Structure 1
């Protein structure tokens, strides 16, 4: 019965969890494509053979779709920091949280939360490698470090080679800020320029450089992907609700992080007060995941389990 639910999962990034017949959470994981990742537990576990003994215990599948793989990675981390199920090996996640800081004519990747104050801080992002590669991409197209007023000899030489100076500073700051704020036009402009540089390097047989720039493009895609389950905003406690076909799903946001979700049977009338106080930015997320919850509810699941 449980395996038969797999086709009801979307081919989309998200987080899934397995429960046993008593309602206990067995495992939490994330997926680039939920349907295929969850389905793999009944086909080929690959390097996850230690989970073979868990699979027969699964009686319920629950899942949330996310707006990006990055968002799914953060959500998995938040859930595992709060509670580690028996079959998960580690609490939290493998990736290190980073942010990107724009200050003093430089753009740099830093651990989150940043130790230094001042300037503009963007993120957080999961993965120091991805954050550093994204910074490298920004500097490749907008070399802000070479627009300062007090450059050393080698920096002046590089500024001359790159054809930039103090007059470019404000433009670079504006463009970098727009990219890190996920403004579509700025992101498209940066990505287009990186693709151009990658292809030019490849045409000149600079395959290592082309490969490096491709990594930077992928890192830019990672940091600008929609991600709202973990924010830099302090406080941020809230609850969000979604309802569909008799199932109410409750999402717990604590200190700006979505860190828990529950679902139960509920009438539309009883759900209305909860839906009315759901923050606007969470309504689409909550609504579509309530619809997913109804598709995954099996007849064997007891109310309130």
Structure 2
């Protein structure tokens, strides 16, 4: 570590004389010690010197250099280490002049599970060593479309393991020719493994190999007079070819390509990333940086490339615009793969990416305008001093008390912020007690806020429920010293019809009903519906996991029917665990001997 400083201005000449030629990270600081900029370099001396020895900097960089009073550098052993350190410091320090893109590691993938009959599934998050993953894809729609294609062509199962293990007859997917029903033994393990291998080849972009394989099998079946099998393989080939012809974008090569275009209009930057995998255009995704400060398109693109490929796979080819990027690819192994469009096909891809970036900017401006008007309407309706910047909404989901999950969704400046969503697995309460579940969720969420943590404190809390649930929320806020938080209970209307909701607003003695066309009311409905959706997804996942291996399954004599009877009778596993032997004996199919075994094993 080395540093240099001056009481009034930065002595760049003296500092540059001490610099090393090693790779590393440099930090520019102002007179107060605040970090202005963090950058990486393959050669620290050459990179830092370029700031003070070159002219013609962009207005943004020129303004930054006027404020530099100190500089610090950290030498690293390699360019890769410098890249990792730079990204870590940018996310931690959020320097004023760095262009920071949201840290989004949740790209969707297609997964193939392990086991005798692998399952095809949609995946986000960490990887399981027992499964294989294909991607990433730019968005969820691209994944689901690809899953539907693979399922239609190769007839792989998509059902959860818990469902698969307890099927006694084929499901609807088998009847509509989307699954070969391995759950009931309608396909052998070897034949299913062949379909899995072909699906894996297809997902890896080996389309020609897959079609050649199917064609050979079709000919073999025809030679053996197995005309029904040959016809099925023929239809499979036609299905694949039709999709490939529709999705190829002027490409005859099964290529993996990223197309990245940065556009700046009226000071608003956007980066559009399009993905081509195996010659298939999977769609695109727009990114907006958190900090810009008048950056030019080249600077925005350089920041995106460095941050995006720091922890993501690099395709064989990366097409960039604008080009060149100077040292934008420094420290990124993508350097030899990247460059401008080289032919008509790549220029068409790039033009599409640039156009989609502009469309994304227009859409975002319209959404911001709409969000502002809805927040203003909500402020007026609730008589708030300011429009609520951060709104959090809570909902509870369970099935007869089983797998209770509370959701907390977040809306910031009128737009849902999914990175701040949280779920709470509720335990230690009586099954079906929504009040206790709400109390636990609110306490867990706001305990640190009550202890003095001010980050991410909401301006408004929505409770999906009526007067009772809202009262619980107010009790929790009082216990935590958060009486100042504004809150609303959103009770469903008559017949649960949208638009007839009643609002229980803290500080108002009478319930409030807003007009169905009130823009602020529409915002509340949207947030409440999102909390409901998020809670249900979490509950179903928890329930499936619990049902996938329930403690009841470990008890001899407890099959699917008896397990369902027990859970229905007592509202979930917690209820079964709390039951006495006499209570258990009253359940259909449970003898006293079996009740004693259940009672003993659930308490062991």
- TM-score per shorter chain, which class? 0.3 to 0.5
TM-score by length of 2: 0.21
TM-score by length of 1: 0.36
